[in-house]
Copies of this chain bind each other. A is one copy, B any other.
Amino acid sequence: MKENGPKDRILATASRLFYEQGYTQTGINQILEEAKVAKASLYQHYGSKDELGVAYLQYERERWFKLFQAYLDQKTTPLDKIVACFEYLEESQPQRNFKGCRFINLLTELSDSSPKMREQIVEHKSKLRAYFAQLTQHYKPIASQSLADSIYLLFEGAIIESKIYQHVWPIVIAKNAAKKMLE
């Protein structure tokens, strides 16, 4: 993200704070201070905190898949790509202090409010699930949907549990379990 105008500075700052501190724990005023932007500018570009949340999710969805695919593109074989999904977590989660998945974090924080944000999150995860199906299909064309979903579940479980234990072991376990499933 190029930090040009106030609009981008707001999104970049909100994105960082929403992940580090949580959405509800982050106040509008803190975003304004750290982004060095006036309050009117925020409500000019994004109408409310909720809409800023939606913009945040849209931005991060795109960013997430870009980074993820870029990492996978380093690998050539389909099997290596699937394994690399977990290696991506092994690298990224410690860097992020095991804060887990921003999308799941937000979903949990919201409980029932904000259907727009919920929609973004469910769409994102649906897309990830489909991506695992595609990767698995590419490795083994006759593979079942349930095999891909099992790996997807291990992937998601690994993120959550590495957050709980503040450690990579769940990711390593999940990686090896996925490998075995694909044998």
Contact = CB atoms under 8 A, between A and B. Distances in A.
Interface residues of A, number: 40
Contact of A160 (B24, B111, B160): B160
A107 B22 CA distance: 11
For the complex, would chain A's binding face be called helix, strand, loop or mixed by DSSP majority?
A: helix
A182 to B, nearest CB: 12
Interface string A3-45: 0000000000000000011101100000000000000000000
Contacts of A112: 21
Q: What's the number of copies of this chain in the assembled complex?
A: 2
Interface of A: 20-22, 24-25, 100, 104-105, 107-109, 111-112, 121-122, 125-126, 146, 149-150, 152-158, 160-161, 163-165, 169-170, 173-174, 176-177, 180-181
